[in-house]
Each structure stands twice: as C-alpha cells, then as structure tokens.
Structure 1
C-alpha cells in the first residue's frame, strides 16, 4: 500500500478577492471536468488520484479552517489530520506521518508520498506515484522527489540538479532556489528539473526525524506539543539536510495555478456573474462578478476583473503575480463572505464610533435543518432580527420559536444558538462592542442533537 499525504494550506492572496483566509484557492469551482461541470482544484485532483492503478491510502493534512470545505467537496475514504496552528510544511508532514504511524496503523517500511492538493497536471503526474514507490522500496535513496522537466526558464520555481540526465530515478547533487533568467537557462542545459513539492520516503525515515524534534507516546500528545516543532518548510528543514536523495523525472503538463495569469489559462468561462463584456474592444479578458451589482467591462486587454464582497480587482494578467503586497495594504483583515457547515454569512456594514465602540452588521443564512453551535461571546453583544423563514432560538437554556419580524437580544456572555426548521432561516445580525472578531466565540457543541 502507498500512503498519499495531500497538503492543503495557504490562503491564495494572489487570487484575491476571490480567494481569502476562509476560501482558499483550491476550493474555488473555476475549472470544468470532462462533462462540463464546474469543479475545484481539489475535486479535479481527487478525480485523477482515483484513476491511479495502485492501492492508495489518502490522508489530507490541513488546518481547522479548511475542514468544512474539504468535507463538503471530497467524498469517499480518507483520513483528515488537522494542524492546531499553521507552522509550514515540515511540521504538517511530521504531524500527518505521526498520525499514520500511531492512529492508522501504517508500517514503518511503507512508502509515504507527499503532494500538494492543488497541482494542475496531467494524469501521468499522478500515475507517477507508482514509480516513486518503486524507487523508495528499491532502496535507491532515503528521499525521492518528483522533478518536472522544464518547458521554459522559470524564475518562480526551485530547481533540482541531478548527477546525470538519463535514466530514472537519478541521484540529486544539489538544489537551486528561484534563479534569475540566465541561471535558469544554464540549469536547464545541465538537465535540472523543476521542484514541484512531491516527496517520497519510508514512513520510518520521517518518524525518526520527527523524534529528533519531538518524541511522544501518542498522537494526541504529539499534536498538543505541535508548537515545539520548527516553523519551516519541508524543503529547508528536511530535504536540504538529507544525504541520500533521488529524483524521478516527469515530462508533461504541470502548473501552479496560484496567480490570475496562470489560473485564467485553464478557465473555460471568460465571464461569470452579472457582467457585460464588450467583445469589440476587449481581448484576453476574464471577469468574475459575485456582487449581484451590474458590471460593464470595455476597452481592456490581457486583464482580469474580479468583484466580490471582499473587494474589487482590476489588473493586468502579467502583473497579477505581484499583487500580494498591495492586497495586504488594502484588504480587510476578516472575510466579508464565508460558507460554514450551518450555511453562510455576508458582512453588510462595519462602523466605528467615538470612544472606541464598533458595530458590525451581517446577514446570516442558516440552511434548513442546520444549527449554529451553542456559544457565547466575551466582548460583544448581538441583536438578531429574523427577516425570513422559521426556526428556534435558545438563550441561556430557554427555547423559543422565531419567524419573520422576531427580534432577539443577546448580551455579552449569554449562551445562545439558533436552528432553521423546514426552510432556510435569514437573520440580520448587528454586533456591538469594542472587539468584533470571529475569534470571540466560545463553542459548546450543538444544542439540538
């Protein structure tokens, strides 16, 4: 059996405003499958993994913020390992391998292959896990990478330099991280390969390394002491310190769809939402409008225009790879729209007043039959006004029926929850206090079982 660990992380700020801390790029349904259905990067990857002719045991390593998105998009059997905090890829892989060893009963001699969950590649890329397994089990090297044969001298990727240019697998002699254009050309001439972040090894190899940082008697103990692990990438913390490294070359399509420039190359639809694009004056333009407001785009070339509740982007495609710093200086620190296990919410207004008081207005949509957790807040009060649907509200243990027109006052520290009955329940929520953050929630599970 091959144990496949898929890493799901990152917020995709280079795809702002469509992607943010609560809606990562890998979950955006902007691609299409062979039947023409909209799918996300994650769904596309899982479809390809299920087509691999091998016995694969899949584990997804991610953060708690992405649990709902993964469970709602990925069906079938897989293990989910949640980081207690984000600490980069080295500790995430160590945590997942500890789970394999201590919770899933994997053998120390089994092959583990780590891959990003959002790569855009041909089926042959995923079929390559069989060759990686063969290389590991043959004892060719302690650590075996997958290297992509470059199609151009990219300055965005790291390069793997093998000792020879023929055969598979090959010995690795060194790495070069994001060279300039001339150095990239020279590396390609030497037979260097792009580093696509795929690593293969025996489980015991990695758990021995983990023990050097954190030795524990159980997975729960390991997870509780997660902050003791180095906050570093797997490349820097493990790969560059390894003495026995091999690489299996891959020749075929592989892309990191992490910028609007690369993502739009694979998008079938050039416009989505309430938008009119002037075909006579626009060329190579992609437009996404999630606001519901009318949008007109004219006179643009090689550009992307995106409008969501989190913001508006109008950008040349080539420049889209460099917007991260600009987004950081202007974007709100909290998402304005978010899907949750119980439904969704949208921020309608945010205001600050003299003396430090603040208010935040949301529209909550609790899906039929769903409920928000029984909870309380330490810094804010809330007023709920029901505008559509019927449901039940519990306040400090007392349950009451609510429908359109009902108002519920929730003071600081009071326990509360709500559930929708036979249809979606729409609530306008007004928060008031000095601190208005999503973190100001203490949850006590579901009130209604």
Structure 2
C-alpha cells in the first residue's frame, strides 16, 4: 500500500504562530517521548515510521512548505510539490499520477490518503493499514475510516453507514452529513454515524481511470504542466459524491483535530513555551511566546496568549476558533519562516521615499548547512555576522567569515555561505522589491557551488 499525506493550509486558524508558509502542522508545541518539542508533522511521521509505512509514503505539498518539511523531517520524506495552490482533487490526482508514472506502481496498488496532522494513537496507523484488505475484499471504489464519536460534535462531518452490525468489519455508506447542529449530531450518533476524519483509500486504477475520463494526463510531468489550469475543486465534490460504492471501516480509538487554539492547548504537555510568567492565580491559561521579550499574564482564566513576529493574540479559549474570520484580511508577509538550512525572523521593515524599502532580518544557519549560490536583481544586502563561523563566497572568491565581520553584497553579485558552526547574521536589505521571489538560485548544494567556483578559476 502507498500512503499520501496531504500537507496544505493557509495558516490562519492558529494565528499568529501559523502563517502562509508555516501552517499548523509545523508548530513545535507538542512533546515527544523524550520531552522535546515536536510539531504535528514530526509526530505523524514518527508514527508512520513505527508501523513501517514511511518508505511507501509521499507528502503532497505546496512550494511554500517544502523547506519546512525538509527541515523538520531531515529530508526523509518523498515530496510531490504542487506548482500552484488548487484543492484536494488536483492534489490527489497529481499524487496518483506520481505513484503511477514515476514510482511505476501497479494499477492494482491500493493508495491511502490522509491529512498530515491528525492527533491520534499509534494504533490508528495500524487501522490505516487495514484499509488495503478492505478495499480488496469489499470491491469498493472508496474505503474510509470513520471514528466512533465520543460526543455530539458540531465541528466534524459524519459518515452514516447502512449497517452497524457488530459482526461486520466494515459497512457500506448510506450518506454524509457536514457539520450538523449538536442536536442533529446526537440523532446521527443514534443511527450509528461516525466522525469523518478525512482518511480514505482506493485502488490506483480507480483514480487513473477518472483522469482518463476527464482527458487529463496520467503522466506526472504532463499533469504538472497543466496543474495551474485545473479547477479548484475538492475530492469530495469531484469524486466521493459520484462514487457508487463506498465502505467505511470503524476506528474505536483516540482521534482529534488540533485545528484551533482551544483544541491544541488541550494536548500541550506544558502551559508555557517561551519567555514570560503566568501568575499562580491564573487558571487554564496557555502562553506561547516566540518573541525575545517576556509576556506576563496576571489573574486571568481560560485564555490563550500567543506572540510571534507576525502578531499577538489574547483570546478566550472558547472564542479562539473565530480567529480565522478576524485575521482573514491580514495580508502582510510572513515574519518568521523555517527553511531547509535554519530559520529567519524579520526584525524591521520600512518604506522610504522614491519607492525605496529597507528590511532587516536575523538569520540562523545550522552547522553544515548552506544558503544557495544566488543573486538578487532588486536589492543590495549588508550582512553583519553576530555569531559563529562560516565559509563565504562572493563572485567565485572564497573566504572565512566570523562574528564581527561585515559583508556587502551589491545587487547582481553571486554569493553563498556555509555555516561551519551555528551561524547568525543580521541582514539589512535595501532596494525596490524586498520579496522572497527576488532570488535567482544558481546552485543549491555546497558541492555544486564549490565545483562551479573551481571551474571558473580554471577557465580564468
């Protein structure tokens, strides 16, 4: 069986820690067995690895999340990178074409799809493995996992089966109900309805045949070329609603969607992350602070306080799901991002006269990691090294840099740096377009970069 993890999200429901490049699955607010902070995607990947599914798993994601996935999973995951933001049907179609034409999987292969961020016990992934047998024995087009509800929630969708007889491992699906009222949810549970956790499986031949019917390429590279023109439509609307035979496999274990601050804080092992103080008379308060200044909470109850370079949130926990509605109009650039080489934080941004801009960043590069060999068309940069040592290249000239050094990089000049020890730099950009897209990457790995420099010097 092949497993596809869908990693998307616009990053609004857990603002200000999440943003368009750092969605909720990348927030390191959970704890692993060694009491180290980990993200949802790291937790899920370790669980998948524990049931021996990691080697057959791919992650479908957008370009903005690639560096963060590579950084947090240490380049272990096979990635399918969507060239444009679409919806779940195009994403799953692209994944199916990748498994079919690149991985050369048989049309008889069973493919399971699940979100990258469920909060579950390890046994959940054993249940995911059971989907393969269910798809084959039931001769269904789709096999879903349905969670036995623990209360009548209005936040989840429901799967209503035709039969709930105890002697059957799976049931045919009668209908779906999306986010009912609590009263309706109680009636659905009485009918034997299950929470829809977004996990399902199918034979590869089923989705490939759908692509062929729609006149879409089944070859991965060809579908990539057309991807930006595919309609923005969900897999539910495009496939599930049209399927004639769907079955559901019940799961009677722990499952939770950590999609809002009130649900996420329920699973955090600590009430405070980062600098600050929560007074003893404060009850049921969680403080998550990514800033270098302390935050103090006095005499408050049932609050989540979250602070990051993107903003500050103070919210009653029950009201926190409304955050997406309120910050939807915020259109500022992400102020903090994790990258494959480390992280950066925006310290200041100013617009000057005559369309000039100034942007100041603090950049941290992990030991042994490097920035690509690159140039910028619209900005100059000045680097001040504040910590560590590195190997720096400017226009094929190589030299060592260390704390206290200042480096000037005019626009159009090719440059790269590799951290010999943890390297921190204050970078001041000046120019007319201070955006991440103003990067022309020439070479990525340090081996390629050094080889290019040596070849250039030989030619000279």
TM-score w.r.t. length of structure 2: 0.90
Quick one: distance in 1 between partners of 2:264 and 2:233? 27
Select between 177-186 and 248-257 the one with higher mean Cα deviation.
Answer: 177-186
* Residues 1:394 and 2:393 are matched in the alignment: yes
**Equivalent pair of 2:112/2:200 in contact (CA under 8 Å):** yes
The structural deviation recorded for 1:114 is 0.7
Query: Partner residue of 2:305?
Result: 305
Q: Deviations over 1:209-257 (max 9, x none)?
A: 1223454373222222212332222112211121111111222211110
Is 1:193 the counterpart of 2:194 in the alignment?
yes
Show the counterpart of 1:86: 85
Q: Secondary structure at the match of 1:69?
A: helix
Q: Deviations over 1:346-388 (max 9, x none)?
A: 2111111233322111122333333211222232222223344
Query: What is the aligned partner in structure 2 of residue 208 from structure 1?
Result: 209
2:61 is paired with a residue whose SS is strand
- 1:442 corresponds to which of 415, 440, 443: 440
Q: Structure 1 residue 130: deviation in Å?
A: 3.5
Give the equivalent residue in structure 2 for 1:5. Answer: 4
How many residues were matched structurally? 445
Corresponding position: 1:97 with 2:96:
yes
Q: Within 5 A, what are the aligned runs for 1:24-423?
A: 24-52=23-51, 57-74=56-73, 78-166=77-165, 167-216=168-217, 218-279=219-280, 281-330=281-330, 333-420=332-419, 422-423=420-421
Q: 1:204 to 1:266 in 2, by over 3 A?
A: same
Judge conservation of contact 1:159–1:177 (CA < 8 Å) in 2: yes
Contact 2:141 2:206 in 1 (8 A): yes
User: CA offset at residue 400 of structure 1?
Assistant: 4.5
* Alpha-carbon offset, residue 44 of structure 1: 2.1
Shift of 1:129: 2.0
Contact (CA 8 Å) 1:392, 1:419: kept in 2 or not? yes
* CA 352–134 in structure 1, closer or farther in 2 if over 3 Å, else same: same
Structure 1 residues 214 and 275 mapped into 2: Cα distance closer, same or farther (>3 Å)? farther
Instruction: Tell me if structure 2 keeps the 8 A contact 1:29–1:41.
Output: yes
Write the deviation string for residues 58-85 of structure 1: whole angstroms up to 9, x where unpaired: 1221223323333333369653222112
CA displacement at 1:404 relative to structure 2: 4.3
Partner residue, 2:458: none
Distance 1:340 1:76 in 2: 12
Distance 2:404 2:42 in 1: 41
1:320 CA drift (Å): 0.8
SS of structure 2 residue aligned to 1:138: helix
CA distance in 2, matches of 1:141, 1:355: 64
Contact 2:70 2:77 in 1 (8 A): no
Residue 13 of structure 2 aligns to a residue whose secondary structure is: helix
Is this contact kept in 2: 1:143–1:244, CA < 8 A?
A: yes
**Equivalent residues of 1:381, 1:433 under 8 A apart:** yes
- Per the TM alignment, residue 98 of structure 1 is displaced from its structure 2 partner at its CA by 0.9
User: Secondary structure of 1:255's match?
Assistant: strand
Do 2:97 and 2:218's aligned partners in 1 also have CA atoms closer than 8 Å?
no
Which residues of structure 1 form unaligned runs of 5+? none
Pick which of 367-376 and 113-122 moved more.
367-376
Q: Is the 8 A contact 1:270 1:285 kept in 2?
A: yes
Deviations 1:171-210 (CA, angstroms, capped at 9, x unpaired) = 1122222222332222222222211111111011011112
- Please report the TM-score for the alignment, with normalisation by the length of structure 1: 0.92
Distance in 1 (alpha carbons) for counterparts of 2:218 and 2:251: 39
1:424/1:105 Cα in 2 relative to 1: closer, same or farther (>3 Å)? Answer: same
8 A contact 1:4–1:56 mirrored in 2: no
Contact 1:140 1:246 in 2 (8 A): no
Distance change >3 Å, CA 424–CA 6, structure 1 → 2: same
